[in-house]
Structure 1
């Protein structure tokens, strides 16, 4: 801690006693529905803009954009002997098409690529059910959308996504792609308990999947603000404001947006230390395909971005995790901050092709994915009814805001050099990590073959 001997560290105390971020978090979770394109999301964007403005940064505003709207209606499972209960344990997956389809239930366990290949002859015309997780010894995590598109590719009539977490918690999460925002077959999430019941009692039986939804054009938006000098380069600090409609969205991602606002407040104290502008971007419509961040990346001079620090689902764990995507200087900066504060930080260089850093990182922009260092490869309470404020602690938010404030100051230092990476290097990392195969299935592979 000798580095702080001659420094003004009063900002640390103010950040650790601040309630600015936590207050915004409470405001966000009080909104009944922050689904992309809804009135609730708009209210959340306004709260975020106002919080940034109150924190003292410049030109806090909302930049609107069009989005494919999807609002949940009534959905249910039926069998020949009547409705399958409990209804609370089954929900449509966002961007599922409307409709009613029937097929024999086929349980494909974890839904690994090999599971689909080995039983490909049984899938055509069936209702496929898979787990939200993969075996602990499997070499990579398989995203929901990858499993969904395996089901589509093999001719399934519908897709059931069964949680592996106890508690009567049906999981949510969008389907569809950039080119076709609405998926091709009806999709539902079911709780672990209902999934076990279906596997035990209904495999081989005819079941009907009914999905009702309001599907229409809608409007989302991004919150933007800035601080620091009017420099040619900038450091971007980002999060997403939207959340799934079935819960408070406290961890995912009220926490990330609250942290960004707390960092903004702290940087006001340290503005004279910034050699580079810092731009805050709190994106809309992340949960339905990274829409807000993708539009921003497509319309921005990416060469002007020194680095992006994207905060998503961070406060549920005390230790912050920084995925640095193979950018050596980002690893060094994270470890330097951890050493400076004698505070644990977990770093990982593996590619994370999800969340709002990705439209930038895939183009070679140095970027972090900032999250909580939880055990395991899945999202735990995330994307379920249980993503609620009681799971989080204000201490974690404040500690992480202190570390991230220092990290942003480090990145905005004119003497900090951060080399960009070539797109071919990013693609090679995805191939080596095993993520490329799934991205090609879902239509998310942005690289030429």
Structure 2
């Protein structure tokens, strides 16, 4: 029975796949590279032994990066456009709002101004504030443009999308600047007029989800998921090549253990995650949630050695993760709060039990993620293999008749978001799906 562990710990399937997918190059939503990565993923799942490996296409808002800059004084400062920023050139007084907390926006008149905020939040603040939330505080205040300043050293401007499901292209030009450029802007030109320039091509595009299955053809299924797309400025190794490599490695291990599965395991590698969870939202819109037993979403795995499981208040998921970790003597951490920022969420928001699986890095915020530094050299094959063993065992347990977890009413999820002070931010960025 334990021979699969040795084979998984010495397997090259996931790592070879990871090298292949990062070497494709640009995997931005709707790009040829994203399509090529989807096809490689489909073929890898089929080779692992999963059946009915296929692509499912859907329409998306296309956005292709052009040049961008900030003109300040007699200088031109480096920046990168945030995906789905509108194209344009705007002038305005530069105002640095520090962390960009809600109170920072309330205390300042930002109408017509170029607003700069940091990518992190202070340690004393009780929750994380997503980039898009800060952006839409700027939009709500009638700012002229939005500048997103990285908190990570190394001359690394951050990327990350703006826009909403209803209006996928943002309202005002948005750029990312490195910590060093941001400090220079604040020191030399705060209170002065600056010009933000964004060039981008906006058109219609197509993305795709990858599907395959293992185990009995039951009406209920366990979803094992990741996302294929990545920001175009880097290899997307950590975000989220490693997550899809994990799905491939788990498919190889689960194929060996297929006779142990009591419930179908449905692998899904989503497209278009980085621009608003478009791929998972598409699947959720055509899926009967009653047929989903649980979701195991891999987004941020293998960046560090210790796994973290956001369990969204499902005690049974928390218990299952610890039971498997204890079985293998492997440390993990669980987070019981809601996590509305990856491909599990279009399902979990309606009460479907689901994990968001990541790993501890010791970094504040995304670390190397969403920057030029998201490259393969930051990862280790050991971590991918070790975590694949743990997650494979967890998937088998979730698929067993022994494990049951009740779906929640959507009102329970909404109440939890209110209690965790996440609702206000979700409402301002158009991500609040519940009736008031």
Which range, TM-score by smaller chain?
over 0.9
Quick check: 1:249 aligned with 2:236? yes
Quick check: 1:21 aligned with 2:21? no
Deviation at 1:32, TM superposition (A): 1.6
- Taking the aligned partners of 2:318 and 2:397, their CA distance within structure 1 comes to 12
- Give CA-to-partner distance per residue, 1:380-429, whole Å, 9 cap, x none: 11000011100000000001110000000001001211111111111111
Q: In the alignment, is the contact (CA less than 8 A) between 2:73 and 2:189 conserved in 1?
A: no
C-alpha spacing 1:374/1:433, structure 2 compared with 1 (3 Å): farther
TM-score by length of 2: 0.99
Deviation at 1:377, TM superposition (A): 4.9
- Taking the aligned partners of 2:56 and 2:274, their CA distance within structure 1 comes to 18
Partner of 2:32: 39
- Give CA-to-partner distance per residue, 1:161-195, whole Å, 9 cap, x none: 00010000000000000000000000000000000
Q: 2:227 aligns with which of 225, 240, 247?
A: 240
- Taking the aligned partners of 2:338 and 2:66, their CA distance within structure 1 comes to 36
- Taking the aligned partners of 1:323 and 1:401, their CA distance within structure 2 comes to 17
Q: Which runs of 5+ in 2 are unaligned?
A: none
Q: 1:208 aligns with which of 170, 180, 195?
A: 195
Q: In the alignment, is the contact (CA less than 8 A) between 1:141 and 1:377 conserved in 2?
A: no
After the TM superposition, which residues 44-443 of structure 1 pair with which residues of structure 2 at under 5 Å, given as runs? Answer: 44-81=37-74, 83-85=75-77, 87=78, 90-119=79-108, 121=109, 123-375=110-362, 377-443=364-430
Deviation at 1:238, TM superposition (A): 0.2
Point out 4+ residue stretches in structure 1 off by more than 2 angstroms: 374-377
Q: In the alignment, is the contact (CA less than 8 A) between 2:147 and 2:176 conserved in 1?
A: yes
Q: In the alignment, is the contact (CA less than 8 A) between 1:252 and 1:313 conserved in 2?
A: yes
Q: In the alignment, is the contact (CA less than 8 A) between 1:262 and 1:401 conserved in 2?
A: yes
Q: In the alignment, is the contact (CA less than 8 A) between 1:259 and 1:401 conserved in 2?
A: yes
- Taking the aligned partners of 2:194 and 2:200, their CA distance within structure 1 comes to 20
Q: Which runs of 5+ in 1 are unaligned?
A: 1-7
CA-based RMSD of the aligned residues comes to: 0.8
Q: What secondary structure, in the 3-state scheme, does the structure 1 residue paired with 2:253 have?
A: helix
TM-score by length of 1: 0.96
Q: In the alignment, is the contact (CA less than 8 A) between 1:109 and 1:131 conserved in 2?
A: yes
- Taking the aligned partners of 1:345 and 1:294, their CA distance within structure 2 comes to 29
Q: In the alignment, is the contact (CA less than 8 A) between 1:239 and 1:260 conserved in 2?
A: yes
Deviation at 1:274, TM superposition (A): 0.4
Corresponding residue pairs, total = 436
Q: In the alignment, is the contact (CA less than 8 A) between 1:15 and 1:398 conserved in 2?
A: yes
Deviation at 1:313, TM superposition (A): 1.2
- Taking the aligned partners of 2:364 and 2:25, their CA distance within structure 1 comes to 29
